[in-house]
Structure 1
Amino acid sequence: MPTRQVDESFADFAYRVLCDELIVLDIKPGEPLNDEVISRRLGVGRTPIREAMKRLEGDHLVVAYPRRGTFAAGVDITDLAEISEIRHLLEPAAAARAARMASPQLRQEIKEFAREVGELLPVMHSQRDLMRLDMRVHRMIYRATGSRHLEDVLIRYDNLATRIWSLVLEKLPPVSEHIAQHIELLECIAEGDSEAAARLTTKHVTDFENLIKAVL
């Protein structure tokens, strides 16, 4: 179980843990989410749990039904085309903006993270761990855009895409090569090359869609 960060509210902690579990399908689609059970499991009061549930509902990760309760949202493979279309529009623009807008401190952080990704990939064999590394890269890029509104939208659609990825994860070949594309992308963003960042991101999103389609 992850631990709550010092500056993290109980609601934010509950949201972070539940969001991760929903994305990687540790909480299965259609599974009920009981706030009392979750409260005991996380050691968090029921009010923060309910706050987290509201946020998750807004993210389309859970569905609440009157008098029935709250359930993990289903994963519809047919959503892939629509999600991919939106990501094709937003992700390259976000990468280009990150290359233009990232602060010097953040550029250094991105360079160091690119090296970390290169070091982790040869020793990381779990498909689920690789998936979480991919999510970390995307979150870094979204943060570098400097736009909270754009970051929120990108995270929402990346979460939905990753749920589809999780659904077919065991059918996929090792995805380390797919994630290795991020190293050059992060380096381009750190160097301020917005055109290359947009081009590489377009390829990455296209490759992701093709990877999923190949096993459907």
Structure 2
Amino acid sequence: MMEITDVRSRSGRHQLPDLVTLEPGCNNVASLSEKAYYLLRDRLITLQIQPGATIDERALQEEFKVGRTPIREALRKLADDQLVHVVPRRGTFASHLDLGALSAISEVRIELEAHAGYLAAQRATDYDHSVIADVLEELDARTVTSGRRELIQLDLRIHRVVHRATHNTYLIATLDEYYVHSLRMWFLVLDRLNRLGHAIDSHRELLTAVNEGDSATAQQILRDHVAEFEQEIRAVL
């Protein structure tokens, strides 16, 4: 387990370590409760905190070097995210992975991700196009020896670049909520997935479609991508 220190930037913001579930460069937050939230969120998504495990608030206070209030505020937000659940008079626990919900999550994601691809191709700005060009360069630089952590971070970055290009804050927030739960299932079977690199490479066509304003192609690629994700998960369970 990495040691957590509370390092502040000159702006007074709190520094975060490199986390799998945060994009590169997103490494500081405004409050201690936000810091605790992102640290815990990362561990819950990557299953460093196992489903069903008890959340030890006192131990987290000591490790994160924060008081009780930031931890409790973080846990309340994580409960809203359905990543933890609170049992009165018993404590707080990491939410179980409900594989029965995989189909329901995929049903929602297929429609939302496809619509995001459609909108992104229509609405992407010059800045969005420049960011997409940077991500395409990252894809070109990816090698066959790239680790699973790097591949997952790249997949997350690609999805969020497309999401942001929709310029619809409500859609972006909803997409992130469902993506997080899909990512948690991904980590459950990560060591048994053999086509992770191929799935990332398929995003090259997606980013190209968005950059070229090809809404129909971007929409279909994302629809297929989410459907294939569910099939991959079910195939190894």
- Alignment partner for residue 127 of structure 2, among 102, 105, 130? 105
**Equivalences for residues 174-213 of structure 1 within 5 A:** 174-213=195-234
Shift of 1:82: 0.7
Shift of 1:39: 2.2
Which contiguous aligned blocks of 4+ residues in structure 1 show a shift greater than 3 angstroms? 5-8
CA distance in 1, matches of 2:142, 2:170: 31
Write the deviation string for residues 41-61 of structure 1: whole angstroms up to 9, x where unpaired.
223332222221111111111
RMSD, matched Cα:
1.8
Shift of 1:174: 4.2
Number of equivalences: 215
Q: Could you say which residue in structure 1 is the equivalent of 2:100? A: 78
Change (3 A) 1:141 1:17: farther
CA distance in 2, matches of 1:100, 1:8: 33
Q: Could you say which residue in structure 2 is the equivalent of 1:146? A: 167
Greater CA drift, 182-191 or 193-202: 182-191
Residues 1:136 and 2:157 aligned together: yes
Change (3 A) 1:44 1:144: farther
Any stretches of 5+ residues in structure 2 without a counterpart? Answer: 5-14, 17-26
Any stretches of 5+ residues in structure 1 without a counterpart? Answer: none
Shift of 1:7: 4.8
SS in 2 for 1:33: coil
Q: Contact 1:108–1:190 at 8 Å: present in 2 too?
A: no
Identity among equivalent pairs (%): 39
CA distance in 1, matches of 2:71, 2:123: 35
Shift of 1:90: 0.7
Q: Could you say which residue in structure 2 is the equivalent of 1:60? A: 82
Q: Could you say which residue in structure 1 is the equivalent of 2:52? A: 30
CA distance in 2, matches of 1:177, 1:16: 29
Q: Could you say which residue in structure 1 is the equivalent of 2:140? A: 118
CA distance in 1, matches of 2:28, 2:229: 36
Shift of 1:202: 1.0
Q: Contact 2:132–2:211 at 8 Å: present in 1 too?
A: yes
Which structure has more relative contact order (CA 8 Å, sep 6+)? It is 1
CA distance in 2, matches of 1:141, 1:10: 29
Write the deviation string for residues 84-107 of structure 1: whole angstroms up to 9, x where unpaired.
111111110011112222221122
Shift of 1:6: 4.5
Greater CA drift, 22-31 or 43-52: 43-52
SS in 2 for 1:60: coil
- Alignment partner for residue 33 of structure 2, among 11, 14, 32? 11
TM-score under structure 1 normalisation?
A: 0.91
CA distance in 2, matches of 1:84, 1:133: 20
Q: Contact 1:100–1:192 at 8 Å: present in 2 too?
A: yes
Greater CA drift, 34-43 or 52-61: 34-43
TM-score under structure 2 normalisation?
A: 0.84
Q: Could you say which residue in structure 2 is the equivalent of 1:42? A: 64
Write the deviation string for residues 106-150 of structure 1: whole angstroms up to 9, x where unpaired.
2211111122123124331x3343223222222222222212211
